[in-house]
Structure 1
Amino acid sequence: MEESVNIDKALEIIKKNIALIIGSMVVVGVLAALVTYFIMTPKYESETQMLVSSPGDAVVVDSENIETNLQLIHTYREIMLSRTILEDVITNLELDETVKELSKRISVTNQEQSQVLSIRVIDESAEEAVAISNEIAEAFQERIVDIMYVDNLSIYAPASVGPDMEPVSPQPLLNIAIGLFSGLMLGLILAFARDHFDKSVRNESEVRNILDLPVVGSITRIED
């Protein structure tokens, strides 16, 4: 019974403050849209893929060779993100950033049991993202021969700027949806806070609920 009363009370508060709640949603949603379209800088992601093949001049690709290559992939990822490789990339492309700053925009992954390494780079410029991911692949391919004495990597799919290359962030629909939800939560908080701190009595039922006494009479408002 008490739970039912609490739900009814909550619905009553929401109904009474529906304009406030909707207004809060609209305001925060519009702010999210404005920030997304006019303040946040679009960022692009490029991807260069490298294939880890059988070492040396081996022609026969068997399960043992594949397993060896898969075990090497984790090591390759670590080397690819090392200071040695990234310093080469910064020098070759004349980038105005540190190794630490560049590394934050790079990810090197591979699917389970896959011999393909994917180098992904995020940048505010699509052309710059493509140049960096391709340069990482080329610098790594050149350096790995001296580092591990192997020559079993090839650039399988270099990155390129295409007409369908769209920004990966910001995501307008997601940001606006988050804004609307945040506005809804803010509106509900304001509505319940407003009700909690509002101690005024507006009608007979509120008098009965607050004082727990019967109402014996009332004075009607006289309009001028």
Structure 2
Amino acid sequence: MELSDYIRVLRKSWLIIVAAALVGVAAAAAYSLTRTPIYSSESQVFVSTQGAGTIGELQQGNTFSQARVTTYTNLATTPLVLQPVIDELGLDLTPAELANQVSASNAVNTTIISIAAKDADPALAAEIANAVSTSLTTTVEQIETPAGTDVSPVRLTSVTEAQPGLSPVSPNVPMNLVLGGLIGLALGIGIAVLREVLDTRVRTQRDVASVTDRPLIGAIPFDPRAKDRALIVHDDPLSPRSEAFRALRTNLQFLDMDGGHSFVITSSLPSEGKSTTALNLALALADAGKNVALLDADLRKPKVAEYLGIEGGAGLTDVLIGRAKVEDVMQGWGDRSLYVLPSGRIPPNPSELLGSQHMQTLLADLERAFDIVICDAPPLLPVTDAAILAKQTSGAIVIVSTGRTTTHQLSSAIDALDTVGARVAGLVMTMTPTKGPDSYGYGYGYGYGYVQEPLPRARGRKARRAEAEAAAEAARLATAAPRVQPAQLRARPEAPFAQASAEPTSVE
């Protein structure tokens, strides 16, 4: 991962990181509140030697004291010193337990020993520190007194009496809160990075490039109202999503497909936006003046007729089994040069029909009669229909749902097409976010001259009635469009992708 990837991860998972930091602070606060406050008191003793007052003797005494002071410091926490303290104060502790509450230290190049004692009772902590100082003084004088004499050459003098502490030294609430926040922050960042590493869903162009070297020819932005505006190119032609379909149309026209101009729109799994992509791409091509044939080749769960509001009882299935002629069931839609062949009845053998010789003949005839042929096919992983159909067309356009399709699923879909020898014309990412770290970057070009409409609020009765009348009129115009006539079907308009054949072949 590069630095930009880590920044993107932090932007994506900032809520997790902040929540982890807050949890760390809360845990530290809870820990601090449940701890018993501990107070500390400190006393100090000065170590000196007794001798003559000459400079040489004083120097020797000072050197001796410094050499021995470390030993006296360690002696302060031994049972020899602590047992008299326990007896004097009547503590219900063992010397080992009291040693955990007492510490002794000595500053470098000094002969001062600092003795600190800790306890939940500040007064008792001061008494323990003073008692240890007294006991250490007595013990050192006893140890250092030479045999046959009553005077020790070493003297320990108390220079600071311990006083009860005014504030506890433990728990250190501010420090605990800071440490808790830092630990929570580190855990949050770790969770975010781990989540990103383990996340195999396709989110960016880089994720697509890591799976296949096929070109990414389009990216369709996410639209929260997509279910209400499936035909966005028709319903709202100035929206960023409509502009994305027009960009896909432009990229599709520049693909080198060896003269072919029939495409299968498919995906790895259902609900990735393949049907709406096929519909809006066909509309965008028709708006550009192309004669477009749109086939609903999803013979399992057809959606084209439902989206377009046309009759879908007869269609592709009837043509393939010889029950109807293509010019009788192919319907024009709206005022565009768009002709739709619905799926017809759902057959028991979709794969066999789509892979039949009749399907090949139909596609060949439609390619000669139209500038471009778009086939909406089932997803690749659940069934083999799309792979079989893609083999007979110029190429497959694979739809990838951003944040839903995994790299494994995309790889398996590409492999399914490669296995049958079908060509992958390109990939289209759908539902790409328009904001946030994974946004595709629509805000620069697609916002030019376009004002985003706010989500509709509660509308009045007149507004709802007007919308209903407009929708009814649009549906009437769409369904009332004349069916394509045989002469129209056989007319061979000049196609930008390939020159029409000299002699057309009848579909019959």
Superposition TM-score tier, normalisation by shorter sequence: 0.7 to 0.9
Q: In structure 2, the residue corresponding to 1:161 is in which secondary structure?
A: coil
Q: How does 1:96-115 map to 2 (within 5 A)?
A: 96-115=92-111
Following superposition, the deviation at residue 25 of structure 1 comes to 0.9
Alignment partner of 1:42 out of 37, 43, 47: 37
Equivalent in the alignment of 1:183: 184
Structure 2 counterpart of 1:84, one-letter code: L
Matched, 1:193 2:194: yes
**Which residue of structure 2 aligns with residue 153 of structure 1?**
156
Corresponding position: 1:120 with 2:121: no
Q: Is the 8 A contact 2:125 2:164 kept in 1?
A: no
The separation in 2 between residues aligned to 1:78 and 1:197, in whole angstroms, is 54
* Residues 8-157 of structure 1 mapped to structure 2, 5 A cutoff: 8-36=4-32, 38-55=33-50, 62-149=58-145, 150=152, 152-157=155-160
Describe the shift of the 1:152–1:125 C-alpha distance in structure 2 as closer, same or farther (beyond 3 A). Answer: same
Cα distance change of structure 1 residues 158 and 217 upon mapping to structure 2, 3 Å threshold: closer
Give the alignment partner of residue 223 of structure 1, picking from 227, 231, 246. 227
Q: Deviations along 1:35-86, whole A, 9 cap, x unmatched?
A: 21x1122222211111223327x56672222222222212322332221111
Change (3 A) 1:64 1:15: same
Q: Deviations along 1:123-181, whole A, 9 cap, x unmatched?
A: 2221121111111111222333332212612211111126xx32222222211111111
Q: 1:60 to 1:159 in 2, by over 3 A?
A: farther
d(CA) in 1 for partners of 2:156, 2:206: 80
* TM-aligned CA deviation for residue 204 of structure 1: 6.0
1: CA distance, partners of 2:75 / 2:208 = 75
CA distance in 2, matches of 1:75, 1:184: 45
For the pair 1:6 / 2:10, whether they are aligned, the reply is no
Letter in 1 for 2:214: L
Aligned residues: 216
Q: CA deviation at 1:187?
A: 0.9
Matching residue's letter, 1:141? T
Judged with a 3 Å threshold, the aligned counterparts in structure 2 of structure 1 residues 77 and 207 are, in CA distance, closer, same or farther, namely closer
Partner of 1:213: 214
Q: 1:121 to 1:60 in 2, by over 3 A?
A: farther
Structure number with higher helix proportion: 1
CA distance in 2, matches of 1:141, 1:206: 75
Q: What amino acid sits opposite 1:46 in the alignment?
A: S
Report SS of the residue matched to 2:2.
helix
Compared CA separation, residues 119 and 200, structure 1 to 2 (3 A):
same
- Residue identity matched to 1:161: P
- 1:132 match: secondary structure: helix
The one-letter code matched in structure 2 to 1:93 is L
Q: Residues 109 and 206 of structure 1: is their aligned pair in 2 closer, same or farther, counting only changes over 3 Å?
A: closer
Cα gap change, 1:99 to 1:216, in 2 (>3 Å): same
Distance 1:108 1:129 in 2: 14
Q: How many angstroms apart in 2 are the aligned matches of 1:160 and 1:65?
A: 31
* 2:46–2:159 CA contact under 8 A, matched in 1: yes
Instruction: For 1:75 and 1:7, locate their aligned partners in 2 and report how far apart those are by CA, in whole Å.
Output: 55
Deviation per residue, 1:11-34 (Å, 9 max, x gap) = 111111111111111121122122
Deviates more, 1:141-150 or 1:42-51: 141-150
1:87-146 Cα deviation digits (max 9, x unpaired): 111121121222112112222222222222111112222112111111111122233333
Cα distance change, pair 79–190 in 1 and its aligned pair in 2 (3 A): closer
Higher relative contact order (CA 8 A, sep 6+): 1
Q: Which amino acid aligns with 1:114?
A: T
Partner Cα distance (2:217, 2:74) in 1: 83
Q: Answer with 1 or 2: which has the greater Rg.
A: 2
Normalised to the residue count of structure 2, the TM-score between the two structures is 0.39
